A and B are shown apart, each in its own frame.
Chain A
Amino acid sequence: MSDAFVSPAPAATTASVTPAAVEVVGVDKIFTAKKKATVTALEKVDLTVAPGEFVSLIGPSGCGKSTLLRLIADLDSPSLGSISVFGKTARQARLDQEYGIAFQQAGLLPWRTVTGNIELPLELHGVGSAARKARSAELLALVGLSDFAQSYPDQLSGGMQQRVAIARALAESPRLLLMDEPFGALDEMTRERMQTELVRITAETGAAVVFVTHSIPEAVYLSNRVVVMSPRPGRIRDVLTVSLGSAAERTEQLRENEAFFENVSRVRELLHGEAPVGIRGVETR
C-alpha cells in the first residue's frame, strides 16, 4: 500500500503497463422491487479511469451516477457487465482496500475524536498505534486540522467534518478515491475552498478520483475528464476532456478564466442535450 507512482498522467498511458484504476465494461444495473416496476438505473455503461486521473460523473438527479459509484465500490453489484479496479474484481479491490470513499455526509463516528475517526480504518485493519498516530498526524496536517486533533465531530463545522472524512478516506493511501457529492452539503464559499484543497491533495497523493457531483463548475474545476450522464435509463451521454493544466495551475484565478467558462458551457450544453443555452457564466447555486 504505497503511493509509489509518480504524477497524474491522464488518459494517454491508459492500460499500457499498469491496469486501469477503474474499468467498467457494459454495465447494466436494474433494480427490482416487489410489487413495483423495475427500474433501469444504468444501461450499457463503459468507463475507464486511468491511474491518477480525476474523473467527474455529472448529470441530473436519478441518472445513476451515485449508483455507478456504488458499483465501483462494491456496495452493490451490477446486473450485467463487469467492473474491475486495478485489474481486480470490485469485491477483491474492496477487500484489499484499494479505494477510499467519502459520501455527501461526512459520516464520522460521533463518539470518536477527529484523530480517532481518521485512524478508524487503520485500527480496523490492525495497524499498530504508533504507526496510526504518525499517519493521522500527517493527514491532519494535509487537511489543515492539526489544531482540532482531539475535538469531537459535533464541535466542528460541516466543512471541517468533511475534511476529516476526506482524511479518513486517504488514511490507507489508496490509489483510488471514490467521492459521492462530498461537498454537496456545504455552502458555496467553503465548497470552493474545499475544491482547491482537493486538487492539491490529490496531486500530492497521486490518487485517481471518481467524483460524483451535480455542479457543473465543480466538475470542470476539478477534473481531467467530465462524464456527462443522462437519466432513465442512466447512460453516459458524452465524455469531455478538460485541459486546464496541472494542479499547481489550478488556482482561484482559474475560476475567472476564459477556458474555464468555455468548458462550463460545453458541459452545460451536453447536459441539456442539443439545444444550446443562452445564458453563460458560472452557475451559482
Chain B
Amino acid sequence: MAGVVLLVVLWELYKALGPATGVVIGDLTVLPRTTDLAMPHVWDMIGRLFEPSGSGRNAVPVWLAVVQASLFSLGVAAVGWVVGVFVGLLLAILMQRFRTAESAVLPWIILSQTVPLIAIAPLVKRWGSTIEIGTFTWENWMSVAVIASYLAFFPVSVGALRGLNSPDAIHVELFRSYGVGWWKTLFTLRLPASVPYLLPALRLAAANAVIGTVVAEVSIGLRGGIGRMIIEFAQQASGDPARTWAPIFGAIAIGLVAAGFIALLGVLLRRYRRGEVPA
C-alpha cells in the first residue's frame, strides 16, 4: 500500500517539477514529457473511471466496462492456467519417470518458450478454426486460453521436475525398502516434497497466463477482453488520455487476483511447506 502511495507521489512530483518537454539529452528524450497528454494526473485517471466510457447511447461507466472485460480475461486466463498446470505437471512426471524422456523433452520445452507469442497466436487460431467435432466448435477464446497455457506450462514443468527430484536419497531408499511402487512413491513422497518448488512455479504460471491472455487477445483480435480494450483506448488516447489508464489498472487487478489465488493455495498447502525458509 505504501508502495502505491509512493508511486503516486513520485508521479505527481515529477509531473509538477519536470519540464513540459521532458528531459532531453542531445536528441534523446530520457524522461517523458509532463504534459497532461503524456502523464495525466492520477486523480484524472481515477475520476475518469466513474464517467461513461463513450458518448454512445448505452454507455456504461468506464469502471464497469473495465471490470467486465477484466472478468472475461481472468476467466480465459484461469482456463489457460489450469490447462497449463495440468500439462506442465504431466510433462514433469513423465520426465521424472523416464530419464530418456527428460533428455528428449526438456530441450523442446525450453525451445518452445523462444517462439514469439505474436507468431503463434494466428496459427493457433487457424488450426483451432478447423476443429469441429459434433456440436463442439472451436471458439476464439479457446485459442487465447491455449496461448495462455502455452506460457503457463513452462515454469510448472521445470519447477515441478525439480520438486519431484528434490526428495533426499535417504527418503527414496526408505520407500524402496518399503517395497512400494513408483506411483505410491509419487503420491506419498515426490508430490508432497515438490510443493515448495511448485508454488513459485504456479505463481509464475499465473502471471504468464495473464500476460499470455492479454497479448493473445490483441493478436487474435478477441473482443470482450482487457487486451482489446487497452488497444481501443490507447488509439483514442490523444482525445482522452486519462481513459487509457483504466484498462491498465484492470490488467493489474487481474494479476493481483491471480497472485492472491496462489497465495491462498500456499496457505492451504502450508503443511507441505514446513522447513521452507519464509520468503
Taking A73-B177, A94-B177, A97-B179 as known contacts, 8 extra A-B pairs with beta carbons closer than 8 A to each other, sorted by chain A number, are A74-B177, A75-B176, A96-B179, A109-B193, A110-B274, A110-B275, A111-B195, A124-B188
Contact: B274 with A154, CB < 8 Å?
yes
What is the interface of chain A mostly: helix, strand, loop, or mixed?
loop
Nearest B residue to A100, CB-CB: B177
A103 to B175, CA, bound (A): 13
A to B contact number (C-beta, < 8 Å): 49
The 8 closest A-B pairs by CB, nearest first: A107-B170, A95-B179, A111-B272, A110-B274, A110-B275, A124-B180, A101-B177, A111-B271
Give the contacting residue for A103; candidates B170, B178, B180, B188; CB below 8 A.
B170
Give the contacting residue for A107; candidates B174, B184, B195; CB below 8 A.
B174
Verify if A125 is at the interface (C-beta below 8 Å from B).
yes
A49-83 Cβ-contact flags toward B at 8 Å (1 or 0): 00000000000000000000000011100000000
Contact: B178 with A97, CB < 8 Å?
yes
Verify if A152 is at the interface (C-beta below 8 Å from B).
yes
Verify if B132 is at the interface (C-beta below 8 Å from A).
no
Contact: B189 with A154, CB < 8 Å?
no
Verify if B173 is at the interface (C-beta below 8 Å from A).
yes
**Range for the number of chain A residues in contact with chain B:** 20 to 34
Verify if B223 is at the interface (C-beta below 8 Å from A).
no
CB neighbors of B among A86-128 (8 A): 94-97, 99, 101, 103, 105, 107, 109-111, 120-121, 123-125
A73 to B110, CA, bound (A): 40
| List of B residues within 8 angstroms of A105 by Cβ | 168, 170
Nearest A residue to B174, CB-CB: A107
| List of B residues within 8 angstroms of A124 by Cβ | 175, 178, 180, 184, 188
Verify if B126 is at the interface (C-beta below 8 Å from A).
no
What is the interface of chain B mostly: helix, strand, loop, or mixed?
helix
* Interface pairs (8), CB distance under 8 Å: A103-B174, A107-B171, A109-B193, A111-B195, A120-B188, A121-B178, A124-B188, A125-B178
* Nearest Cβ on chain A to B275's Cβ, whole angstroms: 5
Nearest A residue to B269, CB-CB: A111
* Nearest Cβ on chain A to B196's Cβ, whole angstroms: 10
Verify if B221 is at the interface (C-beta below 8 Å from A).
no
* Nearest Cβ on chain B to A166's Cβ, whole angstroms: 13
Contact: A107 with B168, CB < 8 Å?
yes
| List of B residues within 8 angstroms of A154 by Cβ | 274-275
A101 to B275, CA, bound (A): 24
Contact: A99 with B177, CB < 8 Å?
yes
Contact: A152 with B274, CB < 8 Å?
yes
* Nearest Cβ on chain A to B144's Cβ, whole angstroms: 37
Contact: B177 with A75, CB < 8 Å?
yes
Verify if B192 is at the interface (C-beta below 8 Å from A).
yes
CB neighbors of B among A152-169 (8 A): 152-154
Nearest A residue to B192, CB-CB: A111
* Nearest Cβ on chain A to B175's Cβ, whole angstroms: 8
A207 to B10, CA, bound (A): 73
User: A109 with B176: in contact, given A124-B184, A154-B274, A154-B275 (CB under 8 Å)?
Assistant: no
* Nearest Cβ on chain B to A92's Cβ, whole angstroms: 10
